[in-house]
Structure formats: structure tokens, C-alpha cells
Amino acid sequence: MNNMKTVIAPVNIAVIKYWGKRDEELILPLNDSVSATLATSVMCAKTSVFTGPQLTSDEIWLNGKKESFTNKRLVNCLEGIKAIAAKEKSVDEEFLKWKVHVCSVNNFPTAAGLASSAAGYACLVTALAKLYNVKSDVSCVARLGSGSACRSVYGGFVQWHAGTEPTGKDSIATQIAEASHWPEMRALILVVGDSAKKTSSTKGMKKTAETSELLKHRIEYCVPQRTTSIIQAIKEKNFPKFAEITMKDSNQFHAVCLDSYPPFVYMTEVSHKIVEVIHKYNEVCGEVKVAYTFDAGPNACLYLLEEEVPKIISLIKYVFPSSSPDNFVTGLNYEQHELSKDFLNKVGLEPESVDLLKYIIYTKVGEGPAEVTDGSHLLDQNGLPL
């Protein structure tokens, strides 16, 4: 039925961070950013959109709870897609006038620094684009919901261009390489805490943009150079180079939060311990085998190649023991690995207290949003949640 569409969309984790806006309303960033899109088979948002002449108002349900549709970002996304549809004449005028019902769920914690809004808005915008038969790029509309959502519109490795136009029409995402380009690339998400953060990204960015001197240097010098270098590293599949840039950029992003006035932090003691573990591991290996990156939260995302996964999971399990080791790793399957005494002696790390890490999500780089065609909608034929 053409008046209902359902889509799943991925999370993306940035390796060159976006932090700070030049326009709050249009969500235009101060710098370019680069990310990897993670497989929807492990983590995704799922959204159904429904329209029809019988609906009397726009409604939305998020993770089982009815929310207000007055959220400006939500309205901007709906109006943005409708405006493109009107311009493309992709549906008739009557269809465009009908109200819309939206139902969305995430299969991972929201507001915990796990890029839930990126997946959610990319999902919403892609579903609406399919509902209204929109054919052109919708990353600029996804951006109106959540800046990083524009990167979740594509799979593989993605660049969000800051753009220079005041209207934001050139602030779009483009794909650097498909997921199949670097099939060995894996990601481990180390969940330190899944509760909401003290300083929201929106508030944090505003404070940093207004008060940090270091941010100016970052935007002018560091990010342009790093963006060029990391894109080259992705294209050449040069992991050590990719990893080093990823870690340096993560460290600098958290440094500009500390350089803000008053300062604020997202990383915790556990986050810093993870950083120590990764540097020790790389040191013992004699080359950079694993990269960490932290978004606006305490959780780490580790990028590594598939062959390193068993060893790194074993080391993390050793340093961060769990009271429920059987449920500690979710996501993709991996082979167990026994760490040698010699290796542990070289790394020189002792186990920490139990349950400092909640769990690990093992995933990989994957494709962009996809339409669900098996009929598993979240809304019934009247546009109400199932």
C-alpha cells in the first residue's frame, strides 16, 4: 500500500568529529566530518510513516511512547521532504495535504552517546522520501533533524561537507567509499553507561563555539588536514594511518570541551582506562592495530580489522571483568581467543573492578537505510501503533 512506508536506518560513528554550529536553526557545522556507517543487522532505528485523508493531525510515537509533533526539528524534516516532493511533482497535491503518523523504535539505548538521533532522523527522512516518491538527495533534510543524521543516509564511509552557503544547500553528505570497499573493518562499541548525559550535545557545542580558543585552531588547521588524510587512508585501506587520525581527532574533540568555559566532560575514568588499554595493546603489537573514538558520552567505539577482534575482546574481558560474561558481547559472532601469560605480562594491565563496562556490541561497517518489504510495519492500516 502506497500510503505506508517502513525503513531501517543505521548508526554512524564519526572518525573526524563535528562539534560546533555556524547556524543553530539550519544545523550548519563549523567543520567537515567523516564517519563510518555501522551495520543495521546489529544496531538500527526502524520507522513507519503513514498518511491518509482520514488523519486529523500529525502524530508521532517514539519507542512505544506518544510524543508531541511540535518539535521544530521534526516539523522541519516533514516540511523539507514535502517541499522537495512539491518541487519534483512526485505525488499529487491532495496526497501532500494529508496528515502523517510516524512510529519509530531503536534497538539500542537512546541519549547515551550512541548516535541514536542520527539513526532516528535518517530513518524518518528516508521513510518520508519513499512515502512521497522523492528521488533527490535527502541528506540536507536529515541534517535539519540532527546534524550527524545526514551521514546515516549513506552506507560505508561518509563525509559531511560543512558548506559555505548561508542557506545550507551545500551542507550535504557524500559517500567516500561503500561498505564493500573495506570489508575487514570492524567496530566494537564499549558501553560504559547507558543513561542520558549531563551536558547535551546541543548545549555543549554552543558553549564550545562561544568560548574555546582551541576550537578555532581545530576548525582552521587540524580538521581540513585530517579530513584530507583520513579520506586518503580510507581509499588506500591504510589502517595505521586511519587509526592514528581517528584517535587524535577524538582526543582533540574532548580537549575542546575542556577548553570551553566553564569546562565540561563526557569521558569518565573508565573511558580513560579504555584509552590506556588501547595504547598499551598497540605498543605491544609494535604497530597501530586498534583505534578508539569517543562521541559526546563515555562509551568508546573501537575500530579494528577483523583479525584483531578475538584478541581485543579477550583483553577487554580481562581488564573489565563482567558478572555475566556469557551476555557480555552482543552482535556478530567471533572466535574465542586465549591470551598468553607472556602477552599479559608485556601489556602490564591488571583487572579492574567488576561491571565497570556494561557490555560490548560487536558490529561492522554496513549499508545505508533500506526499505522494509516483508510487511513488518510498526503501524496498522489505520495509522495506529501495533
| Interval 319-375: pLDDT, tens | 999 999 999 999 999 999 999 999 999 999 999 999 999 999 999 999 999 999 999
Helix and strand numbers (H, E) in the chain are: 11, 17
Calculate the alpha carbon distances from 284 to 211, 280, 288, 316, 340 in Å: 39, 6, 10, 15, 13
* Confidence (pLDDT) at 116: 79
Question: pLDDT-derived band of residue 108, with 50, 70 and 90 as boundaries?
Answer: confident
Over residues 244-263, the pLDDT tens digits come to: 999 999 999 999 999 999 99
CB 336 within 8 A of CB 310: yes
Going 211 to 212 to 213 to 218, the CA torsion angle's sign is negative
Kindly tell me if the per-residue pLDDT of 308 is higher than 50: yes
What is the C-alpha separation between 95 and 26, in angstroms, rounded?
Answer: 27
Kindly tell me if the per-residue pLDDT of 149 is higher than 50: yes
Q: What is the mean pLDDT of residues 102-120?
A: 78
* Confidence (pLDDT) at 286: 97
* Confidence (pLDDT) at 109: 64
DSSP 30: S
* Confidence (pLDDT) at 197: 74
**What is the CA 230 to chain-centroid distance, rounded?**
18
What is the C-alpha separation between 246 and 185, in angstroms, rounded?
Answer: 14
* Confidence (pLDDT) at 223: 98
Kindly tell me if the per-residue pLDDT of 111 is higher than 60: no
Give which of 48, 133, 139, 123 is closest to 89, Cα–Cα.
133
Domains belonging to the chain, first-starting first, are 4-183+367-371 (3.30.230.10), 185-364 (3.30.70.890)
Over residues 164-206, the pLDDT tens digits come to: 999 999 999 999 999 999 999 999 999 997 666 788 888 999 9
Contacts of 199 (CB under 8 A, 6+ apart): 207, 264, 266, 296
